[in-house]
Amino acid sequence: MAGEPILGKAEPSPHQDYRPLTWKRFLALRAWARRVADAEDAPVYLVGSALTKSPPRDLDVSIVLPLARFVAQFGPIPPNAHSAAEHQDVNRMPAYMNRLHHYLTYERPYQVWALEAGLAYTRLDLKICPDTWWPNKDRLLLASPQHP
């Protein structure tokens, strides 16, 4: 099984960064997360600095899938790339993470839904990951899929 991915930090965006997570924004975030959870049929969690810092730089949100489903949907997880030379290898983790980012950014309407939920000027750092990545990190359940 592959280790956890190497993630980079997003470039600063002054109009989005370091905004307090007010109750109104939290409720909007939960409404948005409910739509995402239903669309992915998976739980959506708030993770990262929003759990410990006020104000957080951004809102880190993770869609967590069981490992078997994640691999079936996105392919085998490559081993972590640890050296600069390996980072250039398109078969390693950076290219894999780009595939996940493309799925979330271009194949799903989640950014549009965020605007509709009232989360304009909010940096949502949305990730999709298997349940084997960061299992011991703190997370707050925002939404579970609703089954009729």
Residues 121 and 56 sit within 8 Å (Cβ to Cβ): no
Q: Name the average pLDDT for the chain.
A: 83
Closest to 10 in 3D by CA, of 47, 52, 57, 45 = 57
Q: Which two tokens stand for residue 45?
A: 């969690």
More confident residue, 126 or 142: 142
Residue range 30-63, pLDDT digits in tens: 999 999 999 999 999 999 888 998 888 888 899 9
CATH of the domain at 105: 3.30.460
72 part of a folded domain: yes
18 part of a folded domain: no
CB atoms near residue 73 (< 10 Å): 13
17 part of a folded domain: no
9 part of a folded domain: no
Distance CA 101, CA 110 (A): 12
13 part of a folded domain: no
Contacts of 66 (CB under 8 A, 6+ apart): 130, 131
Contacts of 132 (CB under 8 A, 6+ apart): 1, 67
37 part of a folded domain: yes
For residue 127, what are the domain limits?
A: 23-143
More confident residue, 124 or 4: 124
The number of folded domains in the chain is 1
Token pair 């990190």: residue: 137
pLDDT value for 92: 64
Q: Is the pLDDT of residue 79 over 90?
A: no
Residue range 82-117, pLDDT digits in tens: 555 555 555 567 777 888 888 888 889 988 888 889
122 part of a folded domain: yes
Token pair 């409404």: residue: 31
Does the pTM of the predicted model rise above 0.85?
no
